[in-house]
Structure 1
Amino acid sequence: MVFLHSMVIPETVSVMSGLQRFYGIGPNIAARICARVTIHRTALLGELSQKQLTSVQQELSKLTIENDLHRTVVENIRRLKEMGNYRGRRHALRLPVRGQNTKTQVNTAKKLNKVERGRTGIWQATLE
């Protein structure tokens, strides 16, 4: 088991897929990290030396990932709702925000877009 940035990852996992387990890191960012540290994409985490692991750890500490990223997303949604603009009202009502079709996709959007959104607050602020 390899301990990377407060997460335990098995040694049999490749570096690319191990990095993609962090919230906020996709394939492109994982490839950039591997390129900066000069690690091949198909290398396994168990094959890395301690020096390479510390350099990967340093690269991860430069990024906004995991809890910090979750917190900023929730704060941005809260800010939109407090401002009372269109996107904030759509978030408050749990409706699609980015122009999706609402006739058939509302149920899917309600299932997928559950990030601490309530129905109160927006409409009370606009009515007063």
Structure 2
Amino acid sequence: MVFILGVNFPERNLKSLESFFGIGPNVSARLLARFHIHPQAKVSELANPQVLDITAALSEMKIENDLRRQVLDNIKRLRDTGTYRGRRHALGLPVRGQNTRNQIKTAVRKNQVERRL
């Protein structure tokens, strides 16, 4: 069992880095390439210095609660300034120019899931 940033990772591959909020496939691949780790390597096969390097790199990045807080602050700023995007967020409507015809229920549901943490 390996601990990275206080999260316990069992015998899975390093795709488990993507379980952190804010780390996708591209960032994960860049981290693995930076520390010369094969993408198919298991977490249990990593040496202790490699785990410490990954942990140090992740601690420098803005992930999990810090990133969630930043996203919510950005949305709050848009609402407070009264921009078009802020009003769309407040109403729970699509923000990025999608049509609302026949899709309003899906759009509202998706907006609620993403914004209410």
TM-score, scaled relative to structure 2:
0.93
- 1: distance between equivalents of 2:76 and 2:6? 27
The answer to whether residue 77 in structure 2 is matched with residue 79 in structure 1 is: yes
- 2: distance between equivalents of 1:105 and 1:64? 33
Matched pairs, number: 114
- 2:8 aligns with 8
Structure 2: gaps spanning 5 or more residues: none
- 2: distance between equivalents of 1:33 and 1:45? 14
Task: Provide the alpha-carbon RMSD of the alignment.
Answer: 0.9
Provide, for residues 3-46 of structure 1, a one-character-per-residue CA deviation record: whole Å limited to 9, x for no partner: 11122221x2111x111010000110000000111100000000
Match of 2:51 among 42, 50, 53: 53
The answer to whether residue 16 in structure 2 is matched with residue 18 in structure 1 is: yes
Q: Map 1:69-108; keep pairs closer than 5 Å.
A: 69-108=67-106
Q: Which amino acid aligns with 2:9?
A: I
Judge which range, 87-96 or 99-108, deviates more: 99-108
The structure whose Rg is larger is 1
4+ aligned runs moved over 4 Å, structure 1: none
Structure 1: gaps spanning 5 or more residues: 117-128
TM-score, scaled relative to structure 1:
0.86
- 2: distance between equivalents of 1:72 and 1:63? 13
